[in-house]
Amino acid sequence: MRPPQYVSLALWPLSAAYGGIVGLRSAMYRHNLLATQRLAATVISVGNLTVGGTGKTPMVLWLAERLAAEGHRAAILTRGYRGNPKTDANNRPMPDEAALLQRRLGDRAQVGVGKNRYLTGRALEQQGVQWFILDDEFQHLALARDVNIVLVDAMDPFGGGRMLPAGSLREPRSALVRADIVVITRADHAPAVETIVRRFTSAPVFYAHTELESILRLPQMAEDLAAPDRAKIKLLAFCGIGNPAAFFYDLRRWGLCVAGERKFRDHHRYTPSDFAKLDRMAAAAGADAMVCTEKDAFNLRGTPPTRLPLYACRIRLVLPQTDAFWSAVLLAVRRNKRVIAQ
């Protein structure tokens, strides 16, 4: 979320300094003053220019499922953020997004969590991994990639045009020059956004949006709320994600009745006290149940002590130009690998 206008103006000097540091760092990688390491496998990066959600996790899932369907051994590399009660095969805490990815993918793809993505990737290569997907790694220039996919949220494409902390830009819009593919999310057509994107890159532009796949009853996440019942019940919606407004907007777009909203900071770990407050909010709003995102479900501590049923929304990415998008990915891989070989 962007700060209020008066706060943004006060923070402008810090944004200018941050922008200078980001520009210097990028130039140092560009001129080989900082080292970039390369894995032997093919690497696809998914990222964005802003903080907050743009649909990266659904895109990562889509890519992993596509690679698995084509018979490739794939893995997702992520730095991870804030461990939670779910653990990996080595009994180590997994961040919420990593736990979500592993649950959705099962044995179709592995998930590697670690600050040093190169070392994590090398270890997975020894297990036979042929393709890697970098989760939220457009700014992680220390690891080379064969394809840079940049997501731009049509609802808030460039964070007000200001760098952190005055705005939500991690990098200036000119960084789009590094993109091989741009995907404008939460839209099927956004000509104004596309016009701005094309000022900075000649990369192909695609559109994508998310659809509601299921509404799962917590904590087991096995029972789906029947479609005829979805519009009948009043829901108190809450979430701790990077772009809470988008989740609340999507719930209404999907035809659900939202009686109230409550947002928490990104990756929030919920406590019994939080649910006591949510219960009071739900009662005041006349809600029949509560609903959160699937990512939030991995940040609940045990069984939530709520008096109302609790659900989590599972979503999937829809790419109207599926075949053209995948062809663009493969073309970028071939083109960039030829450049490296020369």
Record the pTM.
Answer: 0.91
What is the phi-psi region of residue 80: left when phi exceeds 0, alpha when psi lies from -120 to 50, beta otherwise? Answer: left
The distance of Cα 283 from the centroid of its chain, to the nearest Å, equals 32
289-321: per-residue pLDDT in tens? 999 999 999 998 776 678 899 999 999 999 999
Query: Mean pLDDT throughout 4-23?
Result: 85
All domains of the chain in start order, with CATH: 5-209+319-341 (3.40.50.300), 211-317 (3.40.50)
Which residue has better confidence, 116 or 53?
116
CB 269, CB 296: distance < 8 Å: no
Task: Please give the Cα distance from 244 to 288 (Å, whole number).
Answer: 21
CB 214, CB 191: distance < 8 Å: no
Query: Mean pLDDT throughout 311-335?
Result: 96
Q: What pLDDT score does 253 carry?
A: 92
Characterize the bridge pairing of strands 109-113 and 42-48.
Answer: unpaired
255-288: per-residue pLDDT in tens? 999 999 999 999 899 998 999 999 999 999 999 9
Q: How many CB atoms lie within 10 A of CB 105?
A: 19
Query: Can you state the percent helix, strand and coil of the chain, rounding each to 5?
Result: 40, 25, 35
DSSP secondary structure, 46-57, as one string: EEESBSS-SSHH
CA geometry: angle 79, 130, 77, nearest 5 deg: 5
80: number of CA atoms within 13 Å, CB side?
A: 25
Query: Mean pLDDT throughout 216-230?
Result: 90
Q: Which of 45-54, 65-74, 125-134 has the lowest mean pLDDT?
A: 45-54
Indicate the pLDDT class of residue 2, thresholds 50, 70 and 90: low
Tokens 């709003």, residue located: 285
90 pLDDT above the threshold of 50: no
85 pLDDT above the threshold of 60: no
Q: What pLDDT score does 52 carry?
A: 80
The tokens for 215 are 């509404």
> Which of 287, 300, 280 lies closest to 239, judged by CA?
300
- Side chain identity at 106, as an amino acid letter? G
